[in-house]
Structure formats: structure tokens, C-alpha cells
Structure 1
């Protein structure tokens, strides 16, 4: 038996003796006062019997009062137990809770406890959804990492074959190099996404020419769109904007690369910059590519979402580019929308406050 438990037991015994002593002392003084008040002087034996009976009465009444308080406390604990159990489960990562019984006991929407129960229920649902997103994110990251690693490992092992021709060896090395770049890009995008979602993001808005930035990004992508003989139509209003130029570089690069990627040989891409009546910069990136379904449009800005895998299996990417794009635009308090039909192309419309983030 531990020393702490022994000390607790001794303290308990001492407390009982103390209560008994106080009860019998109170009984002695009360019975003595009563005998004096009525002018009666019974024998010592009768006095002791009276003192003992009254002492038991005081002790019993005290114990009854304590038990009643204990029962009330126990009933209160039992009443709140569903909430307590729910919070304990949530602390352990189990967000599947049921507060139906508790909400029925409260039995009134005007009762503050009803709102407490509803709040806990909503919190559990939201945390459960966050946990689901977290697990999906980990699963997607694992898949995106495993795929290039498998290729690298397989072709690196194949290079051990001394009978390979120079062309075969170069082909395998090219695949290893491509998959390594894919891993590096995934790592960069994950770091960018983490940085954008952190509270310590370096956000440095400055005034600069948005049309000049768009022209620069288009020129940097010239080898890609020229190799596919894509017609590039540029219609840009001379416009100053207050924004983080480095972050916005990422936005335009992602969107223009996507337009080039999904536009077939000999297609067309249009980039338009205007100012609307709300004094916002409106940028449209329009392509004549493969387009996308309504369902794909609903999820296009989600992490790792790649749309129809069967149609895009030859297209590289890890599904993080548009998620990063939307996050950057949100940081600038802007808006991005997509409009598309399968087989007829896609239009991304971005609106940004000219004066910068308010």
C-alpha cells in the first residue's frame, strides 16, 4: 500500500473521530441546558443515555444532510455525464458522439444547456470533418510520394543490368530525372501551402503594374505555348495594383501553365485585364482546351484534386497548384471563379481589389 493511501485512510479515521467528538460534545451541552431549563436533575446514567441518544441523532442528521448533498451532486454529474463523456471522446480523437438523450432531457430550446449541447455537437461534427480532411491529405501525400519513388527505385535497379544499350540507359535516367523533379515540385508546393496557411506568412504588398507582370509571365512560358503552336491573344489594360508581386507571380504562373497544359496543339489562349465598376481588377484566362465537367468544377480548388484521371493521365501535376492559387487570392481578399464545358475550353475569372487588401 502506498504511503499516500495510508495517509488518506488515517486522515479519514481522524475526521470520523473528530465529527463524533463534536456531535457528542454538542449533545452534552444541549441536554445539560435542557435539564437546567426544565429544572430537572436526573441521575448520571439518565444524563449519559440522553446525551448518547441525542448525539446519535445529531450524527445521523449530519450524515443524512451530507448524503443528500452528495446525491444532488451525483445527480448533477449524471445529468452532465453525456457532455463529459463526449468531451473525453473528443480529446481522444473520437468525434462520433451522440447527445440525443441529453438534448431530450433539456427539452427546451430556450434552455442555455440546450445551446451548450448543440455547440458541443457542432464542434464534434466540425472536428470530425477536419480529421477526415487531415487523413485524406496524408493519404494523398503518401500516394503522390510513393508513385515517383516506385519509378525511381525500379529504374535505378534496372540500370544495374550491364546488358543495357546506351539509349535504354539514357531513357531510364531521363525517367529518374523526371520523377525526381516531380518529387521536388511536390515538396515545394507542400511548403508553399503550409506557409500560406501559417500565421507567420511574409505578406509584402506593393504598388506595381499588373499588365507588365502578366506579360512577363506569358513570355516566360513562351517555349511551352510555342512548342504546341498555341495562339496567345493578350488584351491588357494599363493598370496599377497593390499586391504581393511574388505571390501573384505564383498565381499567374499556375493558371497560364494549366491553360497551356490542357489546350491541344494549335489551340488558343486569351488573357484579358480590365477594370470593373467596383474599381476591381478583373483578369480572365480563357483557353480552348479539354474543359471540365460541373462536378470537377465544384472540387477544382481542393488539395490534390485532379479531375478526371482517365482523361488527364498523360498530364503531369500533383493537384496542389489551384489550391495554392486560391489561397493566395483569398489572402489578397480577391475572388476566383471557373466556368467550363467539356470539350469547349475553360475560363478562369479573377477579381482583385486595386487598392490592395483592406
Structure 2
């Protein structure tokens, strides 16, 4: 049960890790895409406004400035002659604005010039020129409120949010003379004007320019979401398959108990023989496999010297027809588990016995490194086949092997166990008969 719970938690961790990885990648991608799109938007906005300003400059240069400058003097004189009464003065200023701002001459020319300048373009431009300050230097007062400027000329299309691109400031000195009234008055004004332009279809133009980039960004995000969905789907399918596999293994282990019990009872009532000893060894292997499947603790403890000696003593008893010479040099063991130690030594000794060995020399050293060496006098392994013996299901193709049962998994399992510890395993032929396997593992600190 603990093994299955661990499996569930492992799957949950995988899902959580995949989700966190996706969310992190997704947020980074969204941030980068947003930053890039924002910069692209600002760049396009700047470029389009620059073109609009160039067109507006061209329109302004073609207007008749003379009449505009002449109007300046008329404007100031009219402002000076306004009534001192505030309410009447405001009304007169409003009327003056209307008179000054919507002169048909400028109105018609601006729209015609704008239409001509934008004839073969996609730009829709509005333009306005205004005086937003006339300061009387003599009387020290402002004649025009900045919040209510005097419009010199404007296009028919109104400006909502324009860009000031042309600012003017100049001084105007006027002299007013009247011989009958003996009036000779000098006036000094500081006048400020500005010209405002707006590209009315700016957002539409930017959207058209950025549409391909926007589609690519959306496609990338959609692809990332799709890949995440597929990953979660594959993880779920793998979980279902692994769960089915665990169920099948548990069922197989349960079903094996009945024939195994029958086999043990039969062997107990069978006279001693070499066949009986072989069958007893295989029964013990089956019991060990079933025990490991049903075990609540899937991990094995670190092998101690007493554990190693007890296991090797039992191993000798299993192979009573095999001369098993054992040498142990044990200082310490920090890494090798009891289960893996038994797996490696058991498979190598069984392999020797299977391939007609009569003597097996087993040497174990536990120092800074762990070395396990198994040498036998069996039929050996041809040199050309030694590079392949650790492959799954591989068996040497020769006449002698046809008489020996096996699936080609024993040495493969040994190699997988050694790889788990990042160790090495080497095989070499003995001078006379048989082979020697040497395993080397780091023993930690």
C-alpha cells in the first residue's frame, strides 16, 4: 500500500512540476511578447506621427502667411478696444474668436491642402493652429486664457488628442495715434501660438502593421497551451497504464502463491536429488520475487557485514554441487543496499552454475571502492560476444547454449543495477576456461 501511495504522490509531483514549469514559461513568454508588442506599438506610433507631422509642415508652408500676420495686428487692436465690463468683454472675445478662427479663406485652403497631401496615402489627418497666449507687457495682464485659445485656422475634422509640433513666440509692438484726441499710445505684447496635428486613424494603422506579429504571438501562445495539454494528457495516460501494471503484478503475485505452495509441499516429500536441489533454488527465487512485490517497504537497507556473510552462507547451501570460494575484505559500506548486493551476486553465481562451472571464486572488497569479482571455470563467453552480453534478451549463438534454458535477462539486470550506482562492470575470459566479471562502485564518504 505504501508503494502505491508513493506512486500516487510521485504522479502528483510530476503534474505539479509540469504545471509550474508551464506557468513559469507561459508567464515569461507573455511578458516578453507584451514587452515586444508594446515597443513595436510605440515605434509604429512614433513613425506614423512623424509622417503626420511632415504632412502638416508641408501644409503650413503652403498657406498664405501674410494674411495671417496682418490679422495679428487687427486681433490685438480689437482686444484692446473691448469693453471693460467682464461679462460683455467675454462675449466680445467669443465673437472675436468666431470671426478670427473660421475665416473661409483659411478653412478651405487647409482642407484642400490636407486632401492633396494625403491623396495617395492611408493617413487621415486633422490640423489646428491657435494662439493660446497674448500677454500685455505694458499692463501686465493676459488677454487670452490658455484654456480658451484663439483658433487661427483648423481643419473640418476636429482634434481629440493631438500632438503639438510647432510652437511660436514673438513680440508685437503697436502704436495707436489719434490727432483729434491727442492720443499717441504704444503697446507691447508677447504672443504665443502652437500648431496641433492628429492622425485620426492612428490606432487602425498600428493594428494593421502589428497584425502579423500579433498573430504569430497568439499562435505561439496557443501552441504552448496545446503542448501543455498534450503533456498532461500523456502523463494521465501513463499513470493509468502504470496503475494497471501494478494491479496486474499484484494479481500475478497473488495467483503464484497457490502453485508455489503446492510445489513446495511436493518437493518436501520428494527424495533428495540434484533435480530437487535445482527446483528448491528456483522456488526460493520465486518466493523472493513475490516477497519483494508484496513488501510494503520497497527500499532495502545498506548491506552490513553480517548480512553479507549470512547471504553468502545461504548461497553456498543453494549450490551444494558448486565449489564456491569466498573472500571478504569489509571496512565499511555507505551505498550498496542488501537487495542490490544479493541481486548482483546471485545472478552472476547462477550464471556460472548454468554454464557448467564447477568452481566459482567470489571476492568482495569494501573500502574506498566496492569491488565484486566473480570468476568461474565454465564454458566461458566468446570474445566477439562479450560486447553484447549485457543487452536485454541477448544470448550467445552457439551449440552449447541450445541445451541451456534462459531468457537473456540475468546479466542485463546486473548491468542495470550497476548503472544505478554509476559504477562499471567488465568481463574478461580466463586463461584456461570460464570468465571473470569485475564490478566497481564508488563507496561514498
Question: What is the TM-score with the length of structure 1 in the denominator?
Answer: 0.45
Question: What is the TM-score with the length of structure 2 in the denominator?
Answer: 0.37
Q: Which protein is richer in helix relative to its size? A: 1
Q: Which protein is richer in strand relative to its size? A: 2
In terms of Rg, which structure is larger?
Answer: 2
